[in-house]
Each structure stands twice: as structure tokens, then as C-alpha cells.
Amino acid sequence: MIKTIAVIEGDDAAPEAMKPVVSLLESLNIGLEFVYPEVGEIAEEKTGSVFPDEAKAIIDRADTTFFGSTSGKSGASLMYLRWGKETYANVRPCVYIPGCASPLANPEGIDFAIVRENLEDLYVGVEGPLEDLAPLSLSGRNIRQPIHELGKGRYAIKAITEEGTERVVRFSFELARKRAKTREGSPKVTSTQKHNMLRQSDGLFLDIATEVAKDYTDVEFETYIVDDFACRLIREPQKYDVIVMPNLYGDILSDAAGGLVGSLGLAASGIYGDHYAYFEPAHGTAPDIAGQNIINPTAALLTSTMMLEYLGFSHEAEKIEKAVFRVFAEGAVLTPDQGGNATTTEFIDAVGSAL
Ligand code: IPM
Ligand code: MG
């Protein structure tokens, strides 16, 4: 059966990683069809919209979307892939690849996945002037005067819902069960949030996680306050399996996790909802190296393996992953962020040969 993948190559250096990965996927000859919705500046010039209906329709018809990082006008399509498609679980694995440029003395065995809640928290985008809150006359636990009397300023709303938390936490437990089939050690879910300070919002996140954990007695459950947890994650990253958290902490800690294995150039992500999923390297667009053909395509490659898995091509996913590991283990052809001097093309070619 043919599977259709909508490809949005992204901005700056992102297309330089995306294009060769798509070529590699094409060369597998497993019936993948690639379609290219026009978004961002190109679409704006032609249609007046950065995200025209036609692009949306192509995404809707496709089985999934493979998305390069965005810095600019293609951002509207990313927001559609998130809120339009209700993709609530942003899975960002962090795996030590032997041979990668980890700054740690003992990086062996790092293999965890951050599950970032993808739609709520401070990312609902409700912000404004503090004075707009005057009619509500809100005071807080730590301030006596109504918030709008604090001074001239702005507010942002952090929203944590019961339903939004429950589904991402359940997803995390299911993921831990799945991972347990191929991974050493017993499955564990760690939830992290700032429930000591944000007693209502993050307190709810923790309460729901604790409640859901009762349905998964085969999976260990533990929880930490997020600042303390950030330190633990750096000190003993091997201790973790699946780590679930609200949106903002997930955004920050998943980039930090990239540092554990040398760079965001290795950071893959798959973002799942109940009816759609899209796949995106978790690094940015790397404008500083755009046009040089040196961006590390590992993140895009590992992201593509998550996508293949989702589409039902587990065997091919595993093959690509093994090939990437082999190129790292040999160490002869690595991109500059990993201490080598190979170009993106040379790295991909090496992976192709290893396949
Ligand atoms: C990410 C990015 C995005 C986010 C930006 C580009 C909006 O940082 O995917 O982590 O904050 O979610
Ligand atoms: Mg981010």
C-alpha cells in the first residue's frame, strides 16, 4: 500500500538536511509517495497566504507530514500541525550513539524519551496587557494588590487541563510499555513539573499523572520538581526511560537533552495525536550554517525512522538506525558538530552505503 508523506522542508539550513533524507527514503522503494505543500514565503507570493487552503488539504490527505525546522513564515503550517491536528504528545528521544561527541565522561547507555505535552501550558498563546485584567481584580498567593496594580506589564496564561494531561500521561505509559519490549531494564515513567510553586496548574498535572499511574502497575512511576530534575537528568541520564512534562519544560529540557549527546543535530521528534502524527527534527534552522552543506542530518534521519515506524515500516526503520549507528561507530565520516569534517552529503552517502 502506498503511503503519502507531505514534506515541508523548512527554513535556512533545514532543507539541506531534509532533501537528502527524503532521497534516501525514496531509494528504499517501499511505496512512499512524497508531496510538497507550498507554505511560507513561496506560498505568500503566489496566493497571498503563508498557509493556503491547498497546502492544508495536502497535509490532510497525506498519511503524515515530515517537517523541517522553521524560523519564519512556514510557522503557520507548524501551528496547524499542532493545534489543527491535535497532536498532543511530542516525543523527543535522547539516545547515546557510540562515537558521538557527547561532553560527558560516561554517556554509555543514555536512552530516554521526553514526552512533551504539545498543546497546552503557556503555549496556548493567551497574552496581553496587565491592565486588561483589571475587571477581574485578581490577586495571588504571593502578591497582595490586584495583579493589574503591580505596574505596567503583560501577562501570559498557563492552561493545564484534565483531559489534556490525562491523554499525554497515558500515551507516556503506553510508550514505556512499548519501549520495554526492546530495551533493557524495567519500564519507568517520570513526571516532572513545578508543583511546589504552581500548585493549581502543575499540581493538577501531577495529580493526574499519579492517578493514571495506578492503571499501569507494571510500569514504575516517579516524580520530581522540574528544577531539581534538570540537575538529575544531567548527572545521571541513564536512570530515565520515559519522562512526561508540561509543554514549556519539555521545550527547554529536550534541547538540554540534546547537549547530553553532543548536539541538537541528533535530536529527533515524533508528534502524535489520536488521528494524525507529524515528524520533525527537534533542532532549529541553523541560519549560521545555511548554504554550507554541513548541517548534521542525523536528527532528520532518526526522525524519519520514527516516521517509518508509524507508517508500519519497522524493518526499514531499524535498518536506517543501524546504518546511522555504524557510521558513528566507524567515526570516519562525521559532520563538524560531531567533531568531523564531512559534508551533509558525504554523511548521508556513508549511511546509504552502510544500508
Ligand atoms: C520546538 C521549537 C518550537 C517550539 C518553536 C519553533 C515554536 O522550539 O519545536 O521545540 O517552541 O515548540
Ligand atoms: Mg524548542
Question: Which protein residues touch ligand 1 with a CB less than 6 Å away?
Answer: 251, 282
Residue 344 has pLDDT above 90, yes or no: yes
Tens-place pLDDT, residues 141-160: 998 899 999 999 999 999 99
Last residue of a domain, one of 261, 280, 301: 261
Average pLDDT, the chain: 96
Last residue of a domain, one of 215, 245, 261: 261
Mutate to test the pocket of ligand 1, among 71, 82, 88, 251 (most ligand atoms within 8 A of CB): 251
The domain that holds 226 is classified in CATH as: 3.40.50
In this structure, how many other beta carbons lie within 10 angstroms of the beta carbon of residue 338? 23
Span from the CA of 241 to the centroid of ligand 1 (angstroms): 23
Q: How many CA atoms lie within 13 A of 175 on its CB side?
A: 27
Domain carrying residue 234: 102-110+161-261
Q: How many CA atoms lie within 13 A of 126 on its CB side?
A: 9
Residue 145 lies in a domain: yes
Residue 28 has pLDDT above 90, yes or no: yes
pLDDT grade for 122, boundaries at 50, 70 and 90? very high
pLDDT grade for 173, boundaries at 50, 70 and 90? very high
Residue 73 has pLDDT above 90, yes or no: no
For the CA of 69, the nearest ligand: 1
How much of the chain, in percent, has pLDDT values that exceed 70?
100
Q: Is there a single domain that holds both residue 106 and residue 232?
A: yes
Residue 253 lies in a domain: yes
Residue nearest to atom 12 of ligand 1 (CA): 251
pLDDT grade for 61, boundaries at 50, 70 and 90? very high
Residue nearest to atom 10 of ligand 1 (CA): 251
Q: Is there a single domain that holds both residue 106 and residue 216?
A: yes
Kindly give the number of the ligand 1 atom that is closest to the alpha carbon of 118: 12
Q: For 79-86, which contacts have Cβ atoms below 8 Å and span 24 or more sequence positions?
A: 80/51, 80/56, 81/271, 81/276, 81/278, 82/118, 82/119, 82/271, 83/119, 84/56, 85/59, 85/273, 85/275, 85/276, 85/278, 86/119, 86/273, 86/274, 86/275, 86/276
Q: How many CA atoms lie within 13 A of 315 on its CB side?
A: 2
Residue 43 has pLDDT above 90, yes or no: yes
Q: Is there a single domain that holds both residue 170 and residue 188?
A: yes
The domain that holds 69 is classified in CATH as: 3.40.718.10
- String of DSSP letters for 5-73: EEEE--STTHHHHHHHHHHHHHTT-SSEEEE----HHHHHHHHS-SS-HHHHHHHHHSSEEEE---SST
pLDDT grade for 71, boundaries at 50, 70 and 90? confident
Kindly give the number of the ligand 1 atom that is closest to the alpha carbon of 71: 6
Residue 347 lies in a domain: yes
Q: What are phi and psi of 107, to 5 degrees?
A: -85, -5
Q: What is the mean pLDDT of residues 271-276?
A: 98
Residue 117 lies in a domain: no
Can you tell me the distance from the alpha carbon of 288 to that of 120, in angstroms, rounded to the nearest whole number? 31
- String of DSSP letters for 129-166: EGGGGGGG----SS-SS-GGGS-S-EEE--B--HHHHH
Tens-place pLDDT, residues 80-117: 999 999 999 999 999 999 999 999 999 999 999 999 99
pLDDT grade for 1, boundaries at 50, 70 and 90? confident
Q: Is there a single domain that holds both residue 308 and residue 276?
A: yes
Q: Is there a single domain that holds both residue 173 and residue 287?
A: no
Residue nearest to atom 7 of ligand 1 (CA): 75
For the CA of 81, the nearest ligand: 1
pLDDT of residue 74: 87
Q: What is the mean pLDDT of residues 179-193?
A: 95
DSSP state of 78: H
> What's the structural domain count of the chain?
3
For the CA of 82, the nearest ligand: 1
Last residue of a domain, one of 241, 261, 281: 261
Residue 200 has pLDDT above 90, yes or no: yes
Can you tell me the distance from the alpha carbon of 53 to that of 81, in angstroms, rounded to the nearest whole number? 14
Residue 225 has pLDDT above 90, yes or no: yes
Residue 184 has pLDDT above 90, yes or no: no
Tens-place pLDDT, residues 313-340: 999 999 999 999 999 999 999 999 999 9
Q: What is the mean pLDDT of residues 235-262?
A: 97
Q: How many CA atoms lie within 13 A of 34 on its CB side?
A: 18
13 touches 299 (CB < 8 A):
no
Q: What is the mean pLDDT of residues 239-247?
A: 98
Residue 293 has pLDDT above 90, yes or no: yes
Residue 50 has pLDDT above 90, yes or no: yes
